[in-house]
Structure 1
Amino acid sequence: MNSNQNQTRVEAERAASTKLAPLQQVRKFVRKNLVATITATIGGSLLLTGASTWNIWNIYNGFQSTVTKQVELQKNSGQSLYIGQILSYSVKLSATTGDPKWEALYRKSEPELDRIIKQVMADVPPAISAEASKTDEVNQKLIAIETEVFKLVRQGKKAEAMQLLFGAEYSRLDQIYYSGTAKVLEKIDLSIKQQLQDYQRQLLLAMTISGVTLPILIGIWILVLSAVRDYIRDRQIAQAELQQSQASLSSLNAALQTESAVREQQEAMVRLASEQLQQDIGDLLDVVCEIESGDFTVQAQVNDRATGLVGDTLNRLIEELGRTLRQVAETAYRVDANSKTQKEMAATVAQSTSKQAEEIQQMLQLTRNVRQSAQNNMEQLNVTNRSLVTLKSSVAEGQGTISSLDRDINILQAGSDRIVQEVKTLGEFVGLADRFVLDQSEIVTQTQILALNASLVAARAAEQRDPKLFAAVAREFESIATQVSQLAQQTNEGLTNLEQRSTQIHKVVSSVDADVQRLGGLVTTFTQGVKQASDVFETVQSVTERAVESGDRVSTASQRIVGAADSTSIAIESISSLSQQITDRSQDAQKLGDRLNILSTELLENIQVFKLPEVLPVGTNSSDFPESAALEVAV
């Protein structure tokens, strides 16, 4: 009944939890994880409080140290200005009066100024340190000039000291020193203001964080306290329910006492059965001890109790174990024999692999020789191809020369034809000359006849009455006849010479004609020879081109042979490495056979410990099992 009430209440709480507001869900989560929530709240509160306290304390310490440091810087900077004025006035008064007490005051104040400047440079930030270093350098230069002034004053050279002291260099350095010191003070003030602003921002941030976290902590603590109050109320309700449960348990206790008496009777019966069971278990344990000692011939007792079923199962297990061990012994002997055979086979394989490796090395060397021969052939083919290319170019040049010679022969043939034509023209001219000679011969004959007639006329005229006139006419005709006769003689002589020359020209023209005809025959023969040579060159060119193509194909084939030789070499090397791996595996197989032989021997020695039944397992051939092994196992 209580369980039903609890289940109903749990279901009601589950139904109500789906309708709770977010705040109520948070309160429920806090009540469910109250201890963890209280621990987290206390830890978070302590953490936030500690962080805020540490932050404020850190800001306070930083602010205090910064203010102290900056005040010290301002104080030191002011002292540096004050001591600098003292040093400046001491130098000027010493140069003016020559009193040594001013130099003593200067020497007394100078170390203090150096100490203050070094302290300022050590305390200032890096941004101000550069300006302070420049000011210190200017100060050192001023000190050097002032030391020189004191030296001149001690030597009694006041005028030179005053001139050096009131010179432009000293005034410039003094102005730089004071302006640099003023800049340092200004930067220090600016740094102080910036740091104060930073601390103000940090303090404001810390106060803001504290102001934000305080309401959160208050809300969390309100939730925690509310959860604690609800927890106390639930504890009171649970205590009332517990008291009610105790009353119910008292009634249940009485019922349990009655049931316990019944259980005691049942325990007595169980005790008797347990004693019998312990006895049976003792027998079974004895059988198990015999089995542990290696005796597989023992048999457990079988009865009608539960232990009888266990004994029967144990007997079958003993039989199966005996059969299994006999099979293991048989297998061990077979493994021993097979391991020896495998060892011998591995040795044979190793020897064969070694021979194969040697043959592979020989094949590899032969492949390398083939590759070298192919490379040599390829190089020779390259040389042959280059020679063929040269021959091809020479043939092309020869063809060009033959073409040029053919053109020249054509020109010569045309010239020969023109010579033949000119010879024919010359022959015709000689024929005309012959006809001219004949005509001139007739003219000479007619002239001679005319001269003769003139002589006759002159003779008849001489016979006329007027002898003087006719004598003159006769003399004139006689002179004319004489001249005509002389001219006829000269013409006859010229014609004779012309006839002789015409005869010579006939002979020359005949010989030239014969020579031209022979030259034409030679030109024709040479032309045929040139054509034959051109045909031969074309044949040589085609043969050369085919030879070049064949050389290229042979070179390609040689390259393929080289590639095939390389591939064969790589394959043979792979085979060699594979043979080496086979050799290694054979050696490993030999080692494995040795180990297997050792393991089989150890297994046989271990099996000899057991005492097995003499009956062979079902399906086992006795001929496959060594007789000695059977005897050893049966012992």
Structure 2
Amino acid sequence: MQILKLKSSPKMNSPKKTKKVTSGSHLIAFISLSLGFSGLLFGASAWNVWSTYQAFDKAIANQFKLQNLSNQIIYYDEVLTMSARMYAGTGDSKWESRYNQFVSQLEITIKQIIEQTPNTYNANAKKTDEANLKLVDLETKSFELVHQGKSSEAMRILSGTEYESLKQIYADGILTTRNAILLETESSLDRYRQFLFQSLLLAGLSFPILLVTATIIILRVKGFVRERRLAQLSLQELNQHLEIRVEQRTQDLKSANAEITYLNERLQEENLRMSSELDVTRRLQQMMLPLDEELETIKELDIAGFMEPSNEVGGDYYDVLHHYGRVKIGIGDVTGHGLESGVLMIMAQTAVLTMSVLQEKDPIRVLKALNTVLYENVTRMNSDKNMTLLLIDYFQGQLSLVGQHEEVIVVRADGTVERIDTNDLGFPLGLEADISAFIMQAQIKLNPEDIVVLYTDGITEAENPNRQFYGLERLCQLVQNHRQESAQLICEAIIQNLKTFIGLSRVYDDITLLVIKQLQY
């Protein structure tokens, strides 16, 4: 605006033809006027030329700065891409640190270029910013996959079509912004050239000064062109160096991928070995279940059992023992899954069988002895496993319950449902050396056609696709509806209904069920 005002001053004070002066006073006035006008013209011209020079110099410096900022954005973007790919390929945390370091530098550079040319940048920034945000999301996702040990998936993301497409959009956006900035700067330079030309016309009486100024400006323009050429050469050299480094990193990545492949093969071998061990334990678990022939020797009871382990070896246990005219029934659940849980379950089965063979009739003593065995073995194994266990002694229609486990369901012949809470009858085995203070007994009288259902939480806590539990109420209702059928049919009805409820959902725990029906004495 100051240049335009100065430009208008000659029009307001256009020189007039001087008339012939005969008197000395007129000559002095004419000389004074001429000198004043010349001084005013010189001052206005000098100020106009100086202002134009300052604006032109600022525009050149601004363009050079914008050129450097644009180059830095391109460089940082390539560094971020390389760092993300190297981290996905090698898993080395230094590449993640390098990525995070240059992300902040890229943000600072973008803020600087926005401050320099807000209008130009905002007009071209929408697609570029969207592409940049998506690129950062993909790179962040690749980091998370690497943290989860999924390096190959991370590499697929960073080498995928979506990532390359976003890179192209981002590069095109930066190039468009860069060209727009150059056009805006060139437009500014054109305006300053016009102002300079007008200043030269205005400075006809001060041509030497204007000539010197023009010479300085020309030299500065040549200096800018020379510096720009040097910057371009520097960028080309930097790109060549970056290509060499990328090639070197690619070779490193191939070596890392070969090592990862080798480790994966070793891991598969180890998984196969562990799978074989778990399969052996699972088979032992199934082999130790009571046989149908054993259950048929118990004339007073109709008994049916079902056990299905989950994907891993679990710690579910049930057994029915018949020695010397007495029946001992046990059901329990070891915490967790895997080999330790399966081994602890086998220990419990062996201990209960031993006490039954030795004709130990006191259920409290049996439970105390069993706890001692498990506690000492768990301590020796340095394990944190423990076990809930319910032992039931049956004799002539009378049930004696001891131990802590899930609720016992009793469905009477007339359909009445009773639920016996066992929390106060014992304590988890293997946690404490002595649990005598926690052990109590409960008695249940069974009449003909009465039904007792024992189960583990793999049934009641099974989930359907809507994340709903199967629940105890559903189990009770199903037993009540099928109470007039045999124990085997009731067991099959429960398992079929449970699997229909679960559908395609994953089974997280062992499924164990024991149905006992009182026959005529």
More helix by share: 1
TM above 0.5: no
More strand by share: 2
Q: Compute the TM-score of the two structures, normalised by the length of structure 2.
A: 0.34
Larger Rg: 1
Q: Compute the TM-score of the two structures, normalised by the length of structure 1.
A: 0.29
